[in-house]
Every structure is written in structure tokens, then in C-alpha cells.
């Protein structure tokens, strides 16, 4: 809430229309054109190389795995 107005920064589990109905006023949407962190130009831009389907982890690397 800013200046007596509601702003929805990021959509979530409750529909914007439900929030508007409960609050009795319209929502402002987004924050300066950014609705979610992943929309930032540099959010998912690490300064490292990425290898897909690597069979092993080499020295100086990190592993991001899903599953065993």
C-alpha cells in the first residue's frame, strides 16, 4: 500500500480480482514494469559457463542436480 493505493507486485495464489473485491478498490499492477524477479535482465545471468548433461563434476565446478 502506498499513498492509499494498493499495488500488486507479483501475481500469486489469490486472484487480483479477489483482492480488489475484498479491498473495494482497483489494484495497480507491477513495479516499474517488473512483475517477477525472473523478468530482470540479469537475474539468471551468472558469469560462469554452463554444461548440460555433464557426467562428472570437474575441479572448480558446482553441481545443480534434480534427483539421485
Separation CA 36–CA 53 (nearest Å):
28
At 16, list the grid cell. 487480483
Separation CA 66–CA 68 (nearest Å):
7
Whole-model pTM: value is 0.45
> Which tens digit of pLDDT belongs to each residue from 4-13?
889 888 788 9
Please state, as a whole number, how many other Cβ atoms lie within 10 Å of the Cβ of residue 5: 10
> Which tens digit of pLDDT belongs to each residue from 28-65?
887 656 656 666 666 666 677 788 888 888 888 888 88
Amino acid at each position: 500500500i502506498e499513498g492509499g493505493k494498493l499495488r500488486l507486485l507479483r501475481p500469486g495464489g489469490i486472484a487480483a480480482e479477489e483482492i480488489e473485491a475484498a479491498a473495494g478498490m482497483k489494484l495497480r499492477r507491477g513495479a516499474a514494469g517488473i512483475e517477477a524477479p525472473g523478468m530482470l535482465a540479469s537475474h539468471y545471468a551468472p558469469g560462469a559457463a554452463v554444461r548440460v548433461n555433464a557426467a562428472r563434476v570437474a575441479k572448480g565446478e558446482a553441481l545443480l542436480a534434480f534427483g539421485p
